[in-house]
Structure 1
């Protein structure tokens, strides 16, 4: 059994102060994908990663973005949008290492932003990815936002191609693919509480939802948490800091596990680590954790 989770931490240093380690120590996850690490390598709080090997792409935008994957053992292969990432072995200082580059015309423009990272696990036939998809904008419903809107659409086009290529490459290597992270898209009405008032909002635009449907399906990439909770509203993973959104559970489900079908079938349970109160929140996102019986993948 492997416990695997994803968490947009909205800044690793702030998350550490707010209870990042107590949650993950209790969860006892084998693999953790992080998004919005938002920290220079020189300023990383290394105690946040005790017990794990860290592969990290911080990007070059100071104080923004950054994705990481925490594993119990060093990965056997690393791929990202850039050629150099940061590795932190247990008990060691960070060091730069080479990464294979995920090639794609549309994603090349995002190479310095720390948005996508893949590793091959050493102890299971699985390739794991951490994704932070741009938030985008509600153009044309919101004036002056066309550039942000088109950047997100461009990233989505490139990511769709990457998911196909990575899935096929992983299969050729005898591996399943698991892509986790903040997609900044609620796919269906079940995935946000106030869907009626958000039909012209970024993250729930018709074209975003259509794209999400195009990259998922029973033969390609399965939305694991939805497959385990087919009739539920939510479980939500993001709530605004403002107002009473968290208290009233007026959330969005935008943090996903997308897995190849065989791995999705190995999922036995899932939960969102929603904090008990507003004051206990680690981030504006809560962790999304799935247990996978990877022993079924051995044959």
Structure 2
């Protein structure tokens, strides 16, 4: 099973830059998209239902803001829209597709431009993650968490220790997620190297991404029972339809 996750940073703009062509080339079973910045009813059928996929979307109340979606080759048994707390659901930050053995989530954390709002979200989301970790169902949570966990997860970490996305309290929160709460960073199961990034805040399209200062703030997060099923993981830095790069993980699982 192949799952891709990508913050499109505006779905219509991403389509104009080749997102649908990229999608057709992936042969992914599930593609989770975040930060659509559009209402689903505003989108063409070519975006809602690309060939071979069923699309599911959650729209934010505010126009041109947030939004998440999931493209599925196999129709899920159920779709869960939101988590039941206002900040998450009104801003369209969590969409879950349920299959027999596990659930796949498209997730978007607040970016920290309103840091108090991000802290409030993290507190409420931690409660939900703790509940998820105690359930018998397995989860694959895909998306932009807007936190670089370790110093090797961003280029210029020394100058960003007070920047939202790398503040000590945010990194400590991730320590809890990947520590006592019991979740696993799939990418780091495969790749322990520095210089692996999914977002470039000052992206210059004329300069190769490898020469620019990036952050790794996108994850596919799983419970410990799925650890042995992580077969491969990589970041598609050649996909240039967004300021973010797709994170792709292959699992030794079937939908």
Confirm or deny a common fold (TM above 0.5): yes
Contact 2:129 2:181 in 1 (8 A): no
Structure 1 position 69 matched with structure 2 position 70: yes
Quote how far apart the aligned CAs of 1:242 are.
4.6
Q: Which has the larger radius of gyration?
A: 1
Q: Could you say if the C-alpha distance between residues 29 and 218 of structure 1 is closer, same or farther in structure 2, counting changes exceeding 3 Å?
A: farther
Q: What do residues 191-221 of structure 1 show as CA deviations (whole Å, max 9, x unaligned)? A: 0011111111110000000001101138721
Quote how far apart the aligned CAs of 1:128 are.
0.8
Q: Which residue of 2 aligns with 1:237?
A: 198
Quote how far apart the aligned CAs of 1:80 are.
2.6
Q: Which residue of 2 aligns with 1:161?
A: 127
CA distance in 1, matches of 2:146, 2:122: 11
Q: For structure 1, which runs of at least 5 residues remain unmatched after alignment? A: 82-101, 138-147
TM-score (norm 1): 0.79
Q: For structure 2, which runs of at least 5 residues remain unmatched after alignment? A: none
Q: Which residue of 1 aligns with 2:214?
A: 251
What RMSD over aligned residues (CA atoms) do the two structures have, in Å? 2.0
Q: Which residue of 2 aligns with 1:18?
A: 17
Q: Which residue of 2 aligns with 1:272?
A: 235
Q: Which residue of 2 aligns with 1:89?
A: none
Question: Which deviates further from its counterpart, 187-196 or 53-62?
Answer: 53-62
CA distance in 2, matches of 1:168, 1:110: 21
Local SS of the residue matching 1:225:
helix
Q: Could you say if the C-alpha distance between residues 247 and 261 of structure 1 is closer, same or farther in structure 2, counting changes exceeding 3 Å?
A: closer
Contact 2:203 2:243 in 1 (8 A): no
Which residue, out of 147, 152, 162, partners 1:190? 152
TM-score (norm 2): 0.92
Local SS of the residue matching 2:243:
coil
CA distance in 2, matches of 1:227, 1:218: 17
CA distance in 2, matches of 1:247, 1:179: 27
CA distance in 1, matches of 2:226, 2:191: 16
Q: Could you say if the C-alpha distance between residues 242 and 285 of structure 1 is closer, same or farther in structure 2, counting changes exceeding 3 Å?
A: closer
CA distance in 1, matches of 2:233, 2:210: 22
Contact 1:239 1:245 in 2 (8 A): no
Quote how far apart the aligned CAs of 1:39 are.
1.1
Quote how far apart the aligned CAs of 1:45 are.
2.7
Quote how far apart the aligned CAs of 1:176 are.
1.4
Which residue, out of 227, 243, 251, partners 1:284? 243
